[in-house]
Amino acid sequence: MDEFEIIRRFFTRTAGNPGVIVGVGDDGAILRPDPGRDLISVLDTLVAGVHFPEVFSPDDIGYRAVAVNVSDIAAMGGRPRWMTLGLTLHEVDARWLDGFASGLFVAASEYGVDLVGGDMTHGSEVVVSVQITGDIEAGKALKRGGAMPGHGIYVSGTPGDAAAGLALLQSNAPRSEAADQLVWRFRRPLARVELGQSLCGSASAAIDVSDGLFTDLEKLLAASGVAGAIEVDNLPLSSELTELMDRDDAIRFALSGGDDYELCFTGPDEKMAEVALRSGVKVTRIGEIGEGHGLACIRGGKHYHYDDTGYRHFS
């Protein structure tokens, strides 16, 4: 199979979205944006050969490559639309390609994204770059830089689960229903597209939790030029997480664990309460914006020492 056969066999499927005038197969894709809307362009790379040599199945990689990009668009309140794929392979393995394409197109279909073009190259390991273009009503995109003192700090879902799932995969921990659930949260990250859209016009700032809640919230605070304080006892911990480890470890996973792709956002409390009701997604107030800079963690009224460089293994 050469490059062109691979593209024909595995990567020529369309979600049939309007706006795709020409998709895979010409020099480039021709796309027709809806009038009055801004575009949101994101790109994320997965180095499968290095990052997850064993625990990742090909369809996990395909699914994730789409979901992590959609999550960035969700964090801005956008609607994902069109995707291009840069795929570097070490060898042409039809079974691998079949699994990868399957995961990719499942995610593409779930999020309503069309694969419209890309490139395939040979290299010494699997590298997947996905670029997605989304759109949003002009001028309405959510940014990281709008948080203001007095606003609440919120997070969706139960952060820490995915990182715990990865740690489980990498350990010899016994299998259980709770463990399987956490592993699944890692394998199939859920991008919060509807929640992001419902935050537009209400939230003051938003970011998706890809590197870890603490780290990503720090970025939001720095972009906004404000300080923040989290009450760690308010962190929404999943029952699976607390079933499998003690509370201190669970808190550390919730603060440091990447790969959840939950949204962390800020805004006036009354507006955020409305959004939480409307969205149907679990949303938790975990802290508050203040003046100054930096992110503090509080527990029982006292400063809680959080060290991001510490614990990562599963016990």
Binding site for a copy of itself (CB under 8 A): 21-22, 25-33, 35, 38-47, 49-50, 72-73, 75-76, 78, 82, 84-88, 116-125, 127, 129, 131, 133-134, 136, 138-139, 141, 143-145, 206-208, 223
List, edge to edge, every strand of the sheet that includes 152-156: 205-208, 263-267, 152-156, 283-290, 227-231, 294-299, 302-303
Closest to a copy of itself by CB, 28 or 300: 28
CB of 193 vs a copy of itself, minimal distance in Å: 13
Closest to a copy of itself by CB, 245 or 289: 289
CB of 102 vs a copy of itself, minimal distance in Å: 21
Q: Which helix (H) or strand (E) holds 84?
A: strand 79-89
Closest to a copy of itself by CB, 230 or 263: 263
Closest to a copy of itself by CB, 87 or 183: 87
Closest to a copy of itself by CB, 173 or 200: 200
Closest to a copy of itself by CB, 116 or 217: 116
CB of 248 vs a copy of itself, minimal distance in Å: 27
Residue/partner pairs of 57-60 with CB below 8 Å, 24 or more apart: 57/99, 57/103, 57/187, 58/95, 58/96, 58/97, 58/98, 58/99, 58/100, 58/102, 58/103, 59/99, 59/100, 59/102, 59/103, 59/106, 60/103, 60/187, 60/188
CB of 279 vs a copy of itself, minimal distance in Å: 18
First to last CA, the chain: 45
CB of 110 vs a copy of itself, minimal distance in Å: 19
CB of 65 vs a copy of itself, minimal distance in Å: 11
Residue 115: strand, helix, or coil: strand
Instruction: Give the residue among 134, 153, 149, 162 at the shortest CA–CA distance from 56.
Output: 162
